[in-house]
Copies of this chain bind each other. A is one copy, B any other.
């Protein structure tokens, strides 16, 4: 990676906001910007681990989701809902996973509109390897202390619920 900056650019942005009189929103702005940047860092770590396996994070997420499904299959729209991405993003991911022989499309037995995505044996094997790699290289050394992890899960869980991601009450 590149040389670290001498100062935190987000802290600087916050100071700029305060200097311009937007004091009340300076802190939330900094928090939101920090989330954006943190996501970027984490995503690049994950992608670096998955790349040698021929996967991207988007494809891995779909593969992992299928591997945990009881039947190893899910309708496209269900996958879209669970992964919280646009249906066309799922189409895109399935296209590539299918081309790699990791999943296959099958018609839904009763609903002609629906397409089922099924994970193949190869897909299952690769999902296992990828999960092991991510566990060992990313999740086990996230850079967050256990307390930080708890805080993040709780803060972001409330946020996502309030944003309409899900309706669970138990947070």
Contacts and interface: CB of A to CB of B under 8 A. Distances in A.
A32 B139 contact: yes
Contacts of A129: none
A81 B82 CA distance: 35
Contacts of A159: 38, 41, 143-144, 148
Nearest to A25: B139
A83 B8 CA distance: 11
Contacts of A24: 140
A4 B164 contact: yes
A144 B16 contact: no
A59 to B, nearest CB: 14
A111 interface: no
Give the number of copies in the complex.
Answer: 2
Contacts of A165: 4-5, 8-9, 37, 41
Interface residues of A, number: 68
Interface string A23-41: 0110111111011111111
A34 B157 contact: yes
Contacts of A8: 157, 160-161, 165-166, 168
Interface string A137-171: 01110111010111111011111111111111000
Given A28-B149, A31-B142, 12 more contacts: A6-B168, A8-B160, A9-B82, A9-B83, A9-B84, A22-B135, A29-B135, A31-B153, A32-B142, A37-B165, A38-B39, A41-B160
Interface of A: 1-2, 4-11, 13, 16, 22, 24-25, 27-32, 34-43, 46, 64, 68, 81-84, 131, 134-135, 138-140, 142-144, 146, 148-153, 155-168
